[in-house]
């Protein structure tokens, strides 16, 4: 079966995008300071916290990459098991939330500087900006897939349109606009997924029809993947979520500790549903469209189910992609304006200077992300590359700050960051994946061990930071 574009779906998607832009315009008028722009003035309630966390974490990485692509390409069970890494990460973040909020910082590099000095801040802001640009780039591509299905225009042209839309939303109202559209998107996505699954399965010929039209290995526990191949896909999302600046900023943006905690619990429940239902739809899509680009698996099914259901699902998927792209773009630009410009170049910069500079960076970095996305053949590839770079260089030292406390030394933390970043970038591209192992299997563990070992060896040379309790 070939995918045929359906213009009717475009009307539903377009209507929802108009609503999102309307929220962006509303937020523009309520966003007056850098704190409003970066953490929504710390005013978000439990429902908005849950929605923005779910929508931001899912995004194109779920509906076009990750679980979607793996269910289509490798099998149902590895795609579902993949989600356990994210669920584990959400549980750990819930436990760390009080400490994250107590830090009273706007960015992860600010947190790292508290313990590892300006060197740590510089390294972390560069790594985060690099990784987030990669993540933003495949949100653009995901939106290109949506426009291809709804209008028939080439994915490349759709990607360009998606780039402009995501940049516009991010530049308008910052987190204030993104958080509220996220909450609406998360609700629509959950409803759309629940309603769509039975219709997709019927179109695919039921379980017997699916079984007859997918490879036999797609029913194995790890599908057609080896253990190490699966682990290389499972670990990066876990490593990213544990230190993801976007998640931290949303936890900080909660108005109260109680509301934030409730939002985190609701996020966990929504993630379970989403990371089960998306693989089911993508798996059925393999039987319906055996020659499809894996990234289009879920999106393609919206053309074969009743228009009102497909339209809601596609609109919500589009919203996930747009808001995730806006969130990661905004977060990377926050690092450049708050950490690089104000933190290192011009400490006396006014709030308004930082505010408007962040908006300018949104445009510049957005264009760079579009260019970068043209060099990766698949969404899953750029997704894993970005996650690995972040997870190896940022997650080990940030977790060490929370867990090792007075036992962490500046030398140990910096050693882990530098080696983790170098290995993440060079293991596959320069060294050619020695022993057939992916970078994530090597880079993050080596970084973690180095932090502990070097901190132990240099503990007598370092005095504890005043911030440690």
Transcribe 63-126 into DSSP letters.
HTSHHHHHHHHT-HHHHHHHHHHHHHHHHHHHHHHHHHHHH--SSHHHHHHHHHHHHHHHHHHH
Q: Under a CB-based contact definition with an 8 Å cutoff, are residues 237 and 85 in contact? A: yes
pLDDT at residue 448, as a whole number? 95
3-state class percentages of the chain: helix first, strand second, coil last, to nearest 5: 85, 0, 15
Q: Read off φ and ψ for residue 349, nearest 5 degrees.
A: -60, 140
Q: What is the pLDDT of residue 93?
A: 95
The hierarchical CATH code for the domain 7-393 is 1.20.1730.10
Sign of the Cα pseudo-torsion (102, 260, 319, 192, in order):
positive
**Residue numbers in the chain where pLDDT is lower than 50:** 466, 468-469
Give residue limits of the domains in the chain.
7-393
Residue-level pLDDT at 34: 59
Cα–Cα distance for residue pair 38/106, rounded to 1 Å:
7
Looking at residue 177, its pLDDT comes to 61
Two structure tokens written together for 167:
């940049």
**Any residues with CB less than 8 A from the CB of 136 and at least 6 apart, and which?**
166, 325, 328, 329, 332, 365, 366, 369
Reported pTM: 0.84
Quick one: pLDDT at residue 404?
Answer: 85
Q: Which of 190, 171, 169, 191 is nearest to 180 (CA)?
A: 169
Whether the CA torsion 413, 418, 421, 427 is positive or negative: it is negative
Other Cβ atoms closer than 10 A to 18: 10
Model pLDDT for residues 357-397, shown as the tens digit of each residue: 888 898 999 998 888 877 765 665 776 778 888 999 999 99
For tokens 């970005």, what's the residue?
386
Close Cβ partners of 457 (under 8 Å, ≥ 6 residues apart): 412
Other beta carbons within 10 Å of 211? 13
């Amino acid at each position: 079966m070939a995918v045929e574009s359906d213009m009717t779906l475009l009307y539903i998607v377009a209507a929802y995008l108009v609503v999102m832009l309307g929220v962006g315009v509303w937020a523009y008028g309520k966003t007056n300071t850098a704190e409003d722009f970066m953490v929504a003035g710390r005013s978000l309630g439990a429902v908005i916290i849950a929605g923005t966390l779910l929508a931001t974490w899912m995004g194109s990485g779920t509906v076009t990459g990750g679980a979607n692509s793996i269910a289509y390409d490798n099998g149902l069970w590895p795609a579902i098991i993949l989600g356990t890494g994210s669920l584990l990460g959400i549980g750990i973040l819930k436990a760390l939330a009080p400490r994250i909020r107590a830090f009273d910082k706007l960015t992860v590099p600010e947190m790292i500087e508290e313990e590892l000095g300006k060197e740590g801040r510089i390294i972390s802001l560069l790594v985060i900006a690099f990784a987030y640009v990669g993540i933003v780039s495949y949100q653009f591509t995901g939106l290109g897939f949506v426009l291809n299905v709804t209008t028939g225009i080439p994915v490349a042209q759709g990607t360009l349109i998606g780039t402009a839309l995501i940049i516009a939303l991010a530049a308008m109202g910052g987190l204030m606009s993104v958080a509220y559209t996220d909450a609406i998107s998360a609700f629509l996505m959950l409803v759309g997924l629940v309603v769509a699954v039975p219709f997709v399965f019927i179109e695919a010929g039921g379980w017997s029809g699916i079984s007859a039209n997918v490879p036999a290995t797609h029913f194995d526990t790890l599908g057609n993947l080896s253990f190490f191949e699966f682990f290389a896909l499972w670990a990066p999302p876990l490593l990213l979520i544990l230190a993801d600046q976007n998640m931290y900023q949303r936890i900080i943006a909660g108005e109260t500790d109680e509301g934030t905690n409730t939002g985190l619990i609701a996020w966990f429940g929504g993630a379970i549903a989403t990371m089960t239902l998306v693989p089911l739809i993508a798996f059925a899509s393999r039987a319906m469209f055996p020659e499809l680009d894996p990234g289009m698996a879920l999106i393609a099914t919206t053309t074969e189910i009743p228009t009102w259901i497909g339209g809601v699902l596609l609109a919500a998927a589009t919203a996930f992609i747009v808001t995730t792209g806006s969130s990661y773009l905004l977060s990377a630009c926050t690092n450049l304006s708050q950490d690089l410009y104000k933190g290192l170049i011009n400490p006396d910069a006014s709030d308004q200077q930082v505010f408007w500079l962040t908006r300018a960076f949104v445009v510049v970095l957005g264009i760079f992300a579009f260019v970068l996305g043209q060099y990766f053949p698949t969404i899953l590839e750029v997704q894993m590359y970005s996650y690995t770079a972040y997870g190896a260089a940022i997650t080990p030292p940030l977790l060490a700050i929370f867990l090792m406390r007075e036992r962490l030394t500046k030398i140990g933390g910096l050693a882990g960051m530098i080696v983790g970043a170098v290995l993440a970038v060079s293991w596959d591209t320069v060294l050619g994946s020695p022993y057939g192992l992916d970078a994530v299997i090597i880079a993050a563990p080596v970084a973690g061990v180095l932090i502990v070992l070097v901190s132990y060896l240099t503990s007598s040379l370092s005095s504890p930071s005043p911030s440690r309790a």
